[in-house]
Amino acid sequence: MRRPLVIGNWKMNGRSASVARLLNDILAGIGDCKAEVGVCVPFVYIPQASEILKGTKVMLGAQNVADHNSGAFTGEISAGMLREFGCEIVIVGHSERRLLYGESNELVASRYEQAIQGHLKPILCVGETLEQREHGRTLAVIGAQIDTVFEFAGVQSLEHAVIAYEPVWAVGTGHSATTGQAQEVHYHIRSLIGRWNPEVAQAVQIIYGGSVKPENAAELFAMPDIDGGLIGGASLDARAFLSICHSVSV
Ligand X SMILES: O=C[C@H](O)COP(=O)(O)O
User: Any idea which residues carry the catalytic annotation?
Assistant: 94, 166
9 scored as a contact of ligand X (CB under 6 A): yes
CA–CA separation, 133 vs 141, rounded Å? Answer: 9
User: In the bound complex, what is the minimum distance in angstroms from residue 187's beta carbon to ligand X?
Assistant: 21
**Site for ligand X (CB under 6 A): which residue of 132, 148, 211, 247?**
211
Residue 157, annotated as binding a ligand: no
Q: Which stretch binds ligand X (CB under 6 A): 74-82, 142-150, 190-198, 207-215?
A: 207-215
**What is the helix (H) or strand (E) element at residue 151, kind and residue range?**
helix 138-153
List of E strands, 93-188: 121-126, 162-165
166 scored as a contact of ligand X (CB under 6 A): yes
Q: 113 to each of 65, 107, 201, how far by Cα in Å? A: 10, 10, 19
Q: How many CB atoms lie within 10 A of CB 74?
A: 4
128 scored as a contact of ligand X (CB under 6 A): no
What contacts 155, CB < 8 A, 6 or more positions away? 193, 196, 197, 200
38 scored as a contact of ligand X (CB under 6 A): no
Instruction: Map residue 107 onto helix, strand or coil.
Output: helix
Query: Between 13 and 50, whose beta carbon lies closer to ligand X?
Result: 13
Query: Between 201 and 205, whose beta carbon lies closer to ligand X?
Result: 205
**Site for ligand X (CB under 6 A): which residue of 159, 172, 198, 203?**
172
Q: At what angle do helices 138-153 and 179-196 cross, to 10 degrees?
A: 40
Instruction: Map residue 58 onto helix, strand or coil.
Output: strand
Count the helix, strand and coil residues of the chain and give each as a percent rounded to the nearest 5.
50, 15, 35
Q: Which stretch binds ligand X (CB under 6 A): 17-25, 82-90, 128-136, 231-239?
A: 231-239
Provide the residue type at 5 as one letter.
Answer: L
Residue 172, annotated as binding a ligand: yes
Residue 14, annotated as binding a ligand: no
118 scored as a contact of ligand X (CB under 6 A): no
Using CB under 6 A, count the residues that bind ligand X: 14
**Site for ligand X (CB under 6 A): which residue of 212, 217, 220, 244?**
212
Annotated binding site: 9-11, 172, 211, 232-233
Annotated binding site for substrate: 9-11, 172, 211, 232-233
Provide the binding-site residues for ligand X, judged by CB under 6 A: 9, 94, 166, 171-172, 209-212, 230-234
